[in-house]
Copies of this chain bind each other. A is one copy, B any other.
Amino acid sequence: MTKTNAGNFFEDFRIGQVIRHATPRTVTVGEVALYGALYGGRCAVQSSDAFAKAVGWPRAPVDDLLVFHVVFGKTVPDVSLNAVANLGYAGCRFLAPVYPGDTLSTVSEVIGLKENSNGKTGVVYVRSTGYDQDGREVLDYVRWVMVRKRDEAAVVADQLIPELPAALAPDQLGSAVPFLDRSAWDDELSGSRHRFADYRVGERIDHVDGVTVEEAEHMLATRLYQNTAKVHFNQWTEGQGRFGRRLIYGGHVISLARALSFNGLANAFHVAAINGGRHVAPLFAGSTVFAWSEVLDTAELPGRDDVGALRLRTVATKDRPTADFPLKIDGGDWDPGVILDLDYWVLMPR
């Protein structure tokens, strides 16, 4: 009987199982400042209490992706410690604003299980929900991950492939954002005169800038999220593994791409939902990340004339500038520089 956490193996999960994860975490201005220094985001709403108050928040809210990473990190020791691969996520909705001082905790429900034909692994589908200290839902999302079996002979009783959430509909967006006084939105301070109505479906934007990633940076970030996945931290073990390197947390790439996208999407002040995403290739320290975005859709929000939604595809690359919008080669294989393909909704003032 060991007291260390060996994580759950595929046969340990049951449909309908509910896991309350450790560790609840109070997110303070300390986390906010460090998150800022790790990515360099410049959205006025999250950077400035004064700007946020002028348009309708009580104070600057915590960056959406910082909330996501903290909520996500808690699930790792229970869900993905024995994961072979993180296969995808879907249906991620940001439901309520989080402010410095709020305490986040996470509960997951197993909504699907499917053993692989090799008998060695299976796919676990979980819906994870983040709560604040008052029990209010701030975030939920589905992810699915391939997990090893402890014992190949173990029988897995009930299996089910759940219906995965499609892209979120516009009427599911925006509950984390107060009604904004858009006349008080100052385009000079926010960094762009381009608002919701200025973007067109099919428009593509090269975010131009690149940022090189260091080992110390991604490890600080991943620990900030209390994400314990071993591959990010242990060079001794990883040096003998598949890549010979520490693998950078996929969420770090998402946050880098989001910060880069300010150059072209400065008024996209809120990630309202993540429809899905794929980590196409791994990222290692020393590489330089670039990003471009395409507007997949635009939508008004029912009952709101203050903000509109853009559905974006943001593609990140490593060691490859994105002026030519790299994605796939001849419509087939991924361009070898692509590392992330993310489909999500952002809000912009109208």
Residues of B within 8 A of A17 (CB): none
Interface assignment of A236: CB less than 8 Å from any CB of chain B: yes
Residues of B within 8 A of A175 (CB): none
B24 touches A189 (CB 8 A): yes
Interface assignment of A172: CB less than 8 Å from any CB of chain B: no
Interface assignment of A87: CB less than 8 Å from any CB of chain B: no
A319 touches B236 (CB 8 A): yes
Interface assignment of A103: CB less than 8 Å from any CB of chain B: yes
Count identical subunits in the complex.
3
Residues of B within 8 A of A151 (CB): none
- Smallest CB-CB separation from A259: which chain B residue? B223
Residue of B26, B191, B216, B233 near A48 (CB, 8 A) is B26
Residues of B within 8 A of A4 (CB): 205-208, 263-264
Known: A28-B33, A205-B4, A212-B246. A223 touches B189 (CB 8 A): no
- B-contact bits for A215-244, CB 8 A (1 contact / 0 none): 111011111101010100111110000000
A228 to B188 Cα, complex, angstroms: 17
A157 to B85 Cα, complex, angstroms: 61
State the Cβ distance, A280 to closest chain B Cβ, in Å. Answer: 18
Interface assignment of A214: CB less than 8 Å from any CB of chain B: yes
A216 to B217 Cα, complex, angstroms: 6
State the Cβ distance, A266 to closest chain B Cβ, in Å. Answer: 7
Say what secondary structure dominates the interface of chain A: mixed
A28 touches B25 (CB 8 A): no
Known: A44-B22, A189-B20. A3 touches B209 (CB 8 A): no
A288 touches B234 (CB 8 A): yes
Known: A235-B288, A266-B22. A198 touches B28 (CB 8 A): no
B48 touches A25 (CB 8 A): yes
A236 to B263 Cα, complex, angstroms: 19
- Smallest CB-CB separation from A186: which chain B residue? B20
Binds B, one of A35-43, A121-129, A338-346: A35-43
A207 to B2 Cα, complex, angstroms: 10
Residues of B within 8 A of A60 (CB): 26
Interface assignment of A16: CB less than 8 Å from any CB of chain B: no
State the Cβ distance, A228 to closest chain B Cβ, in Å. Answer: 7
A1-51 residues at the B interface, CB under 8 angstroms: 2-5, 20-26, 28-34, 36-40, 42-44, 47-51
Interface assignment of A105: CB less than 8 Å from any CB of chain B: yes
Residue of B29, B214, B263 near A28 (CB, 8 A) is B29
Residues of B within 8 A of A192 (CB): 3, 5, 22
A133 to B50 Cα, complex, angstroms: 6
Interface assignment of A190: CB less than 8 Å from any CB of chain B: yes
A23 touches B191 (CB 8 A): yes
Interface assignment of A278: CB less than 8 Å from any CB of chain B: no
A100, A209, A216 interface centre (most CB from chain B within 10 Å): A216
Closest 3 CB pairs of A and B: A30-B33, A22-B191, A40-B223
25 pairs across A/B with beta carbons < 8 Å? A3-B264, A4-B207, A4-B208, A5-B191, A5-B263, A22-B266, A23-B51, A23-B191, A24-B51, A24-B189, A26-B50, A28-B29, A29-B30, A30-B31, A34-B34, A39-B223, A40-B223, A105-B189, A209-B230, A210-B233, A210-B234, A214-B215, A217-B219, A236-B290, A237-B288
